[in-house]
Amino acid sequence: MIIPYNTMDEEHFPSFKGGEGALEAKMFSDGLNRMLHGRLAPGASIGRHTHETNSEIIYILTGTGTVLYDDGQEQVSAGQCHYCPKGHSHSLINDSDADLTFFAVVPEQ
C-alpha cells in the first residue's frame, strides 16, 4: 500500500496532547495504527502523554528539539530516532529557531 503524503493536505492541531502552539501534520490511520508526517514550528510542542495501548517511533527528518521521556530529557536532531515503548510517557518540543519535521508511527499492541 502506498500512502501519498506528497498529495495530502496538512492538518492543523492546536495544543496537540496539551502542547504549546500547534502540530501541523499529514496523518494516515487504518483504524488501528497511525502514521504521520509532522511539523512543529519554533516554540511548538506535543504535550506529555503516556502510551497505554501502543508505542511510538519518531524519526527526525529536519531540525532539532528536545524529548521529555519518562523522568529524563533527550536532545534529538535530524537523522535520529526516538522510541517510546508501551507504558512510557514522552513529549516532543521544538526549542530551536527552525521547523522540526518528523515521521511518526504509532502501532497498537
Domains plus CATH for the chain?
11-92+95-99 (2.60.120.10)
Cβ–Cβ under 8 Å, residues 13 and 25: yes
User: pLDDT tens for residues 56-109?
Assistant: 999 999 999 999 999 999 999 999 999 999 999 999 999 999 999 999 999 987
Nearest to 86 by CA among 101, 106, 103: 106
Give every CB contact of residue 51 below 8 A, 6+ residues apart in sequence.
Answer: 84, 85, 86, 87, 88, 89, 90, 106
Confidence at residue 4, expressed as pLDDT on a 0 to 100 scale: 96
Write down the mean pLDDT value for the chain: 97
Look up the pTM and report it: 0.94
Residue 79 contacts residue 31 (beta carbons within 8 Å): no
Q: What is the residue whose three cell numbers read 536532531? A: 77
